[in-house]
């Protein structure tokens, strides 16, 4: 494999070099900070000048340090390490000489190539979209270093070898570090074309390189938004309405302002903000605040009413997201129809770091923000609209995010806009750190929507399905957002039906229908999005059909997947490593599931023990994943482990309920999540592959639920269709 590319013009390169020379030599290097490239505030890299800056992603200092500018948010998934690995591979750098700077908000240079002109991280796209781009960035830098060495030593470029951060000419026994050649390389034109390594030449890709954020996240020095301090900064908390749709009628700040350390109380569109010297002062001030809420426009229904409405809508046909053959007639005429109705609750993301954001006014009229920004371009535009600025006047310093699971890619930039509103309300007089409590975070909404599915099938004489109808009822995540034009087509939100409309099983009469509902509950993507419910419904239902036909669930799937080699590949690998088909105790069971999401394929075999009173324990999970070329196998294993844990939490415990427009749960006392003693042993098996890499952050999440439910079904014979499944 050899790829030719066109590179930046020399003029752009020179401009980039000048910017980098200034930006990267300012300021302090704070250990553990996801340091930000090229900001004027001083939180930048510290490479020694002159700095070689061949493109937007690579900086090499005279001190032989290499900075990789990461365009993707590090929220735990390993994107920083992945970006750096791709650059270091083609640069032939030493891994320890690489450090990482977070890219500034600049969609021109740092857009997600899968998203057009938008910078952002999500949909398990980081490695996939940047695979060539980051390698080209590294290869370009390497080629220029080689050229500089060839000139300095007056030897042919072809005779120069690069390995582990050193350039060598063996005939003349000369060698140089990158740093020694940085100044000379910076004076050369950027080549127009560059060749990339063939996979057989990879040295770093495919290795378990140590994460660049490993030690700061062990010794407590990693800096999150919550840890940012600015001179004169006030901490803000906000009294939010208790019900969706309620507003402030009036408020009385007298008692709040008596609290020591409380500085100001201001009204903003989303509630009343209390600003204090530190969090505890602001929090006590909020507790003393008297707010009269105007609830005339507030949501009145709750989860029970929503469920009743959805059940009625399950009876009516929806918009077809896929239609092949004539399943309606077959279902109407069949002597026996297998049918199940599924219910999925609202789910909170509940990242360990509740939403927060630091914002301050800059001298020349713009603003600067520090937080775990996930879709910088959307947030930049939203803050600009809020404050009457141009997007380029909104500078974003992207820090480590304490988890996201989709939450920080908020279509309305909700908490970021709230921070901007507070800054506006105090006329920019001091920097503001907006801090949400756990309760604020959990009650704000932006949940994984509640859904219902009706699954119906007719089996043929061979026991395989001849007709399949899957009706889905739920809110659209994309409707009414900037993503609508991208994701909604002819009334079908792709995120509502993904994983169902592209069902891989070969069934001649097949229909997937969608009924899109509208509710005042704010909703958004939650790790693996549509597959959170479609993966569960389709994979438990296919298992139910196998039971109905009296067939082995693995053999049944194989019979229907002949056209899908990658599904078959992961299925075979997971089964091979498991004890599938071996004898097992009566109170124990094995279940299987296979599902593709975000172009990655995952199969799992779960072993489950049923205990007293219907309680159950997941003992062991064999996971097989096909994500193309494995850039960092250990990070892939970690994402499979964590991703399935996140999905297991939703099977075992997670549930948001709403009563009269108010969220019932407020903290981890009511919103139960997976804990260490519920986590199974996990064995991850990676399919060897030469395909382009695809994502790993999400694809494990939707597979564990059906694998475990199918294991329970193997013991009890029941189909578990109401989530969460707290007892079997």
Partner 1 sequence: MQILTINGAEHRIDAPPEMPLLWAIRDLVGLKGTKYGCGIAQCGACTLLINGLPQRSCVLPLSATVGRAITTIEGLDDRVGQAVKSAWAELAVPQCGYCQSGQVMAATGLLSRNPSPTDAEIADQMAGNICRCCTYHRVKQAVRRAADALA
Helix, strand, coil percentages (3-state) for the chain, rounded to 5, are 35, 25, 45
Among residues 3, 163, 201, 221, the one that binds partner 1 under rule CB under 8 A: 221
Nearer Cβ to partner 1 (78/693): 78
Which pair of tokens denotes residue 356? 């927060």
Write out 24-90 in H/E/C secondary structure. CCCCCCCCCCCCECCCCCCCCCCCCCCCECCCCCEEECCCCCEEEEECCCCCCCCHHHHHHHHHHHH
Asked whether position 638 contacts partner 1 by CB under 8 A, the answer is: yes
Which pair of tokens denotes residue 1? 């494999």
Among residues 114, 153, 202, 279, the one that binds partner 1 under rule CB under 8 A: 279
Q: Which stretch binds partner 1 (CB under 8 A): 20-28, 89-97, 399-407, 516-524?
A: 399-407
Nearer Cβ to partner 1 (54/697): 697
Identify residues 417-476 at the interface with partner 1 (CB under 8 A).
437-439
Write down the residue that tokens 């419904």 correspond to: 537
Nearer Cβ to partner 1 (401/464): 401
Nearer Cβ to partner 1 (351/510): 351
Asked whether position 227 contacts partner 1 by CB under 8 A, the answer is: yes
Asked whether position 677 contacts partner 1 by CB under 8 A, the answer is: yes
Q: Which stretch binds partner 1 (CB under 8 A): 309-317, 549-557, 601-609, 633-641?
A: 633-641
Among residues 226, 309, 609, 716, the one that binds partner 1 under rule CB under 8 A: 226
Asked whether position 353 contacts partner 1 by CB under 8 A, the answer is: yes
Minimum CB–partner distance for residue 513 and partner 1 (Å)? 34
DSSP class of 692: P
Nearer Cβ to partner 1 (180/213): 213
Could you tell me the CA-to-CA distances from 289 to 239, 271, 293 in Å, in that order? 8, 12, 12
Minimum CB–partner distance for residue 682 and partner 1 (Å)? 5
Under a CB-based contact definition with an 8 Å cutoff, are residues 43 and 36 in contact? yes
String marking each residue 308-347 x if it binds partner 1 according to CB under 8 A: ----------------------------------------
Q: Which stretch binds partner 1 (CB under 8 A): 242-250, 319-327, 567-575, 661-669?
A: 661-669
Please give the Cα distance from 88 to 603 (Å, whole number).
32
Which pair of tokens denotes residue 135? 């390698």
DSSP class of 123: T
**Nearest-CA neighbor of 597 among 513, 501, 672?**
501
Under a CB-based contact definition with an 8 Å cutoff, are residues 590 and 607 in contact? yes
Among residues 57, 346, 370, 400, the one that binds partner 1 under rule CB under 8 A: 400
Write out 595-649 in H/E/C secondary structure. EEECCEEEEEEEEEEECHHHCEEEEEEEEEEECCCCCCHHHHHHHHHHHHHHHHH
Q: Cis omega (within 30 of 0) on the bond before 619?
A: no
Asked whether position 206 contacts partner 1 by CB under 8 A, the answer is: no
Q: Which stretch binds partner 1 (CB under 8 A): 105-113, 143-151, 212-220, 474-482?
A: 212-220
Asked whether position 644 contacts partner 1 by CB under 8 A, the answer is: yes
Per the document, the length of the chain is 728
Nearer Cβ to partner 1 (600/639): 639
* Measured distance between the N- and C-terminal CA atoms of the chain, rounded to whole angstroms: 51
Nearer Cβ to partner 1 (153/279): 279
Q: Which stretch binds partner 1 (CB under 8 A): 61-69, 225-233, 461-469, 561-569?
A: 225-233
Minimum CB–partner distance for residue 350 and partner 1 (Å)? 6
Write down the residue that tokens 């909104």 correspond to: 394
Asked whether position 642 contacts partner 1 by CB under 8 A, the answer is: yes
Nearer Cβ to partner 1 (80/567): 80
Among residues 4, 258, 480, 668, the one that binds partner 1 under rule CB under 8 A: 668
Strand (E) or helix (H) holding 659: strand 658-659
Helix 376-387 with 414-425: angle, nearest 10 deg? 30
Nearer Cβ to partner 1 (526/536): 526
Asked whether position 231 contacts partner 1 by CB under 8 A, the answer is: no
Nearer Cβ to partner 1 (694/701): 701
Which pair of tokens denotes residue 372? 């775990």
Q: Phi, psi (5° rounding) for residue 461?
A: -65, -25
Asked whether position 616 contacts partner 1 by CB under 8 A, the answer is: no
Minimum CB–partner distance for residue 55 and partner 1 (Å)? 29
Please give the Cα distance from 563 to 558 (Å, whole number).
10
Identify residues 143-202 at the interface with partner 1 (CB under 8 A).
none
Please give the Cα distance from 143 to 32 (Å, whole number).
31
Please give the Cα distance from 281 to 275 (Å, whole number).
8
Q: Which stretch binds partner 1 (CB under 8 A): 95-103, 220-228, 388-396, 712-720?
A: 220-228
**Nearest-CA neighbor of 99 among 135, 126, 139, 59?**
59
Asked whether position 681 contacts partner 1 by CB under 8 A, the answer is: yes
With H, G, I as helix, E, B as strand and everything else as coil, classify residue 465: strand
Asked whether position 31 contacts partner 1 by CB under 8 A, the answer is: no
Asked whether position 2 contacts partner 1 by CB under 8 A, the answer is: no
Nearer Cβ to partner 1 (76/695): 76
Q: Which stretch binds partner 1 (CB under 8 A): 7-15, 327-335, 443-451, 669-677?
A: 669-677
Asked whether position 679 contacts partner 1 by CB under 8 A, the answer is: yes
Please give the Cα distance from 135 to 197 (Å, whole number).
9
Asked whether position 556 contacts partner 1 by CB under 8 A, the answer is: no
Could you tell me the CA-to-CA distances from 515 to 47, 300, 317, 448 in Å, in that order? 56, 22, 8, 17
Per-position DSSP letters for 151-167, written without gaps between them: HHHT--GGG-EEETTEE
Q: Would the CA dihedral through 573, 577, 580, 586 be positive or negative? A: negative
Q: Which stretch binds partner 1 (CB under 8 A): 54-62, 180-188, 309-317, 349-357?
A: 349-357
Query: Which residues have CB under 8 Å from 66's CB, separation 6+?
Result: 58, 59, 60, 87, 88, 91, 93, 97, 98, 99, 165, 178
Among residues 164, 215, 254, 304, the one that binds partner 1 under rule CB under 8 A: 215
Identify residues 253-272 at the interface with partner 1 (CB under 8 A).
260
Asked whether position 213 contacts partner 1 by CB under 8 A, the answer is: yes
Q: List the strands of the sheet with 600-610, edge to edge.
A: 588-597, 600-610, 616-626, 681-686
Q: Which stretch binds partner 1 (CB under 8 A): 62-70, 350-358, 413-421, 454-462?
A: 350-358
Strand (E) or helix (H) holding 512: strand 509-517
Asked whether position 304 contacts partner 1 by CB under 8 A, the answer is: no
Asked whether position 667 contacts partner 1 by CB under 8 A, the answer is: yes
Query: Which residues have CB under 8 Å from 214's CB, separation 6+?
Result: none
**Nearest-CA neighbor of 164 among 97, 214, 99?**
97
String marking each residue 77-116 x if it binds partner 1 according to CB under 8 A: xx--------------------------------------
Minimum CB–partner distance for residue 404 and partner 1 (Å)? 8
Asked whether position 232 contacts partner 1 by CB under 8 A, the answer is: no
Which pair of tokens denotes residue 74? 């590090």
Asked whether position 645 contacts partner 1 by CB under 8 A, the answer is: yes
Among residues 402, 411, 474, 589, the one that binds partner 1 under rule CB under 8 A: 402
Nearer Cβ to partner 1 (354/553): 354
Site residue total, partner 1 (CB under 8 A): 65
Asked whether position 577 contacts partner 1 by CB under 8 A, the answer is: no
Q: What angle do CA 295, 301, 306 make, to 5 degrees?
A: 155
> β-strands 394-398, 367-371: how paired?
parallel
Catalog residues that contact partner 1 under the rule CB under 8 A.
75-78, 208, 210-211, 213-224, 226-227, 229, 235, 260, 278-280, 349-354, 400-405, 437-439, 634, 638, 641-646, 648-649, 667-669, 673-682
């Amino acid at each position: 494999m050899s790829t030719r590319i066109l590179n930046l013009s020399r003029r752009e390169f020179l401009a980039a070099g000048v910017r980098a020379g200034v930006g990267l030599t300012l300021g302090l290097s704070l250990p553990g900070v996801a340091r930000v490239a090229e900001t004027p505030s001083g939180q930048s890299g510290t490479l020694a000048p002159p700095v070689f800056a061949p493109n937007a992603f690579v900086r090499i200092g005279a001190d032989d340090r290499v900075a990789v500018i990461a365009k993707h948010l590090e929220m735990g998934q390993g994107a920083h390490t992945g970006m750096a690995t791709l650059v270091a591979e083609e640069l032939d750098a030493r891994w320890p000489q690489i450090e990482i700077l977070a890219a500034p908000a600049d969609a021109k240079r740092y857009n997600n190539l899968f998203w057009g002109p938008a910078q952002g991280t999500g949909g398990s796209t980081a490695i996939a979209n940047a695979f060539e781009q980051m390698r080209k960035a590294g290869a370009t830098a390497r080629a220029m270093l080689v050229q500089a060495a060839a000139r300095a030593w007056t030897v042919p470029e072809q005779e120069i070898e690069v390995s582990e951060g050193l350039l060598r000419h063996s005939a003349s026994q000369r060698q140089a570090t990158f740093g020694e050649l940085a100044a000379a390389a910076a004076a050369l034109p950027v080549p127009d074309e560059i060749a990339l390594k063939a996979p057989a030449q990879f040295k770093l890709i495919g290795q378990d390189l140590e994460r660049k954020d490993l030690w700061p996240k062990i010794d407590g020095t990693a800096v999150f938004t919550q840890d940012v301090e600015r001179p004169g900064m006030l901490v803000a908390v906000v009294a939010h309405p208790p019900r969706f749709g309620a507003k402030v009628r009036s408020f009385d700040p007298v008692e709040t302002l008596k609290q020591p350390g409380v500085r100001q109380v201001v009204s903003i569109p989303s509630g009343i903000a209390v600003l204090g010297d530190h969090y505890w002062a602001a929090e006590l001030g909020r507790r003393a605040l008297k707010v009269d809420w105007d609830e005339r426009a507030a949501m009145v229904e709750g989860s029970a009413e929503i469920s009743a409405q959805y059940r009625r809508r399950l009876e009516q046909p929806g918009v077809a997201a896929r239609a092949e053959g004539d399943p309606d007639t077959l279902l109407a005429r069949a002597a026996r129809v297998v049918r199940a109705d599924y219910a999925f609750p609202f789910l909170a993301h509940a990242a360990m770091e509740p939403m927060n954001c630091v914002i301050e006014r800059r001298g020349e009229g713009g603003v600067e923000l520090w937080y775990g920004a996930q879709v910088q371009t959307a947030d930049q535009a939203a803050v600009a609209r809020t404050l009457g600025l141009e997007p380029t006047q909104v500078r974003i310093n992207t820090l480590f995010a304490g988890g996201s699971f989709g939450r920080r890619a908020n279509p309305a930039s909700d908490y970021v806009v709230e921070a901007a509103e507070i800054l506006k309300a105090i006329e920019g007089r001091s920097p503001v750190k907006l801090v949400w409590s756990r309760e604020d975070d959990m009650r704000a909404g932006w949940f994984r929507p509640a859904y219902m599915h009706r699954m119906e099938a007719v089996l043929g004489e061979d026991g395989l399905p001849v007709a399949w109808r899957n009706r889905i009822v739920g809110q659209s995540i994309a409707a009414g957002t900037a993503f609508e034009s991208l994701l909604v087509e002819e009334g079908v939100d792709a995120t509502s039906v993904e994983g169902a409309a592209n069902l891989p099983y070969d069934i001649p009469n097949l229909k997937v229908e969608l009924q899109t509902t509208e509710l005042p509950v704010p909703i958004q993507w939650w790790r693996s999005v549509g597959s959170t419910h479609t993966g569960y419904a389709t994979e438990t239902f296919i298992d139910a059909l196998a039971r109905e036909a009296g067939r082995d669930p693995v053999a049944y799937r194989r019979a229907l997947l002949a056209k899908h080699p990658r599904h078959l590949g992961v299925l075979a690998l997971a089964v091979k490593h498991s004890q599938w088909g071996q004898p097992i105790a009566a109170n124990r069971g094995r279940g299987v599931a296979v599902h593709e999401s975000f172009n990655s394929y995952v199969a799992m075999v779960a072993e489950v023990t049923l205990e007293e009173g219907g309680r159950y324990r997941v003992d062991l999970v064999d996971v097989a994943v096909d994500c193309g070329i494995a850039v960092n196998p250990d990070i892939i294993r970690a994402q499979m482990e964590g991703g399935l844990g996140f999905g297991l939490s939703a099977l075992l415990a997670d549930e948001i309920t709403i009563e009269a427009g108010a969220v019932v749960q407020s903290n981890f006392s009511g919103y139960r999540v997976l804990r260490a003693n519920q986590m199974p042993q996990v064995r991850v098996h990676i399919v060897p592959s030469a395909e382009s890499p695809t994502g790993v952050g999400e694809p494990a999440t939707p597979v564990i639920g059906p694998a475990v439910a199918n294991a329970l079904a193997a013991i009890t014979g029941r189909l578990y269709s109401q989530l969460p499944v707290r007892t079997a």
